[in-house]
Amino acid sequence: MNSYLEKVFPKLHLEPGLFYKWPVGIRYELGTDDSKVGSAAYMRGVYKRATTLFKALHDTDDDLLVVADGYSVGRLNKKFNFFTPYIRNKNSLYKMSHMVFQEDGDDPMVWTHRFILPCKVAEVKYVQMIQALCNIDMGINPQLPGRVYFINMTKNTIFHVYDDRGCDLLAPSAEIIKYMYTDFNAWILDYDREAIDSTFDEGVQNDESKGR
Note down pLDDT in tens along the chain; length 212 residues: 778 999 999 999 999 899 999 999 999 999 887 778 878 889 999 999 999 999 999 999 999 999 999 888 777 766 777 888 999 988 888 899 988 888 776 677 888 899 999 999 999 999 999 999 999 888 889 988 789 999 999 999 999 999 999 999 999 999 999 999 999 999 999 999 999 999 998 644 444 333 33
* pLDDT on residue 105: 67
Q: Which of 139, 162, 149, 203 is nearest to 5 (CA)?
A: 149
- Quote the pTM value: 0.90
Residue 136: partners with Cβ closer than 8 Å, 6 or more residues away: 143, 144, 145, 163, 164
Note the residue count of the chain. Answer: 212
Predicted pLDDT at 50: 97
Task: With beta carbons less than 8 A apart as the criterion, state whether 192 and 19 touch.
Answer: yes
Amino acid of residue 76: L
b/e for 67-76, b at 16 or more Cβ within 10 A?
A: bbbbbbeeee
Closest CA to 149 of 55, 89, 90, 82: 82
Is the Cβ–Cβ distance between 53 and 184 less than 8 Å? yes
How is residue 144 annotated by DSSP?
-
Identify the three-state secondary structure at position 122.
Answer: helix
